């Protein structure tokens, strides 16, 4: 299956700092990537849809100035959590759509963000 | 509002048991329904269903979709401890968003 690489897997930062998370499609081109957030024992909540070469589409209630998404190439999307606060602590996971054999979603390994 | 509801929320069984996980949805412009298994980190793809009544199988796992009644089931036969995980269903909407259900947490005891 398709491989999606996400880094870092874990990050601990101080309140007020910014954190960048990278999501790469390793063996395919991804014009669309999705960013999800997951709280403990809860499901995946879609934050935004990242489109290569254009602005991301954010879900209702997600602050676009806080969660900056850049999709500059067909294999890389980044999520930057700006001025992080403890309430931003969560598991962030990216995914990319693989077309050709129906539309399937493949996930990165996720990033556990802890803001002190 | 589009939504996906899974049941049960959690389930504990013994090795060898058969389990049925349910996923019901209310969506507009349905395109497909997908099942994923999440153990620790990344969900792994299990099935994608687009047509009613056609069962998809992979080893001990199988799944089927009923587009008239708006639900899907995931069956696991002869469960093993390695099947312990959270099982997520998701739909792909007409606006090309993948929306996930609440998940079913399955624990298989030895």
Calpha distance B63→B56 (Å, rounded): 5
Handedness of CA B35, B32, B49, B7 (dihedral sign): positive
State the 10-residue block means of pLDDT for chain A, 116 residues long: 90 96 91 91 90 90 94 91 96 87 82 96
Q: How many CB pairs under 8 A join A and B?
A: 57
**Considering CB atoms only, which of A45, A46, A93 is closest to B42?**
A93
Å from B18 to nearest chain A CA? 24
**Of A71, A56, A16, A38, whose CA–CA distance to B41 is shortest?**
A38
B103–A49: do the CB atoms touch at under 8 Å?
no
Asked whether the predicted pLDDT for residue B37 surpasses 70, the reply is yes
**Considering CB atoms only, which of B34, B36, B99 is closest to A46?**
B99
Calpha distance A115→A89 (Å, rounded): 6
Q: What is the tens place of the pLDDT at every residue in A20-47? A: 999 999 988 888 899 999 988 888 999 9
How many residues are there in chain A? 116
Chain B residue numbers with beta carbons less than 8 Å from the beta carbon of A49 are 96-97
């Amino acid at each position: 299956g398709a491989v999606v690489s996400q880094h870092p897997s874990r990050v601990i930062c101080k309140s007020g700092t910014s954190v960048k998370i990278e999501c790469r499609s390793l063996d395919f081109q991804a014009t669309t990537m999705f960013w999800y957030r997951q709280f403990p024992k809860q499901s995946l909540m879609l934050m935004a849809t990242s489109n290569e070469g254009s602005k991301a589409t954010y879900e209702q209630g997600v602050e676009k100035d806080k969660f900056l998404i850049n999709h500059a190439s067909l294999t890389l999307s980044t999520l930057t959590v700006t001025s992080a606060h403890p309430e931003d602590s969560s598991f962030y996971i990216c995914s990319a759509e693989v077309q050709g054999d129906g539309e399937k979603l493949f996930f990165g390994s996720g990033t556990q963000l802890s803001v002190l | 509002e589009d939504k996906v509801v899974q049941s049960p929320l959690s389930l504990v069984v013994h090795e060898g048991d058969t389990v049925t996980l349910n996923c019901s949805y209310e969506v507009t412009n349905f395109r497909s329904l997908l099942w994923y298994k999440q153990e620790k980190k990344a969900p792994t793809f299990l099935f994608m269903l687009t047509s009613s009544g056609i069962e998809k199988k992979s080893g001990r796992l199988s799944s089927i979709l009923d587009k008239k009644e708006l639900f899907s089931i995931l069956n696991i036969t002869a469960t093993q401890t390695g099947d312990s995980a959270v099982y997520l269903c998701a739909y792909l909407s007409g606006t090309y968003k993948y929306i996930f259900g609440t998940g079913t947490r399955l624990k298989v005891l030895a």
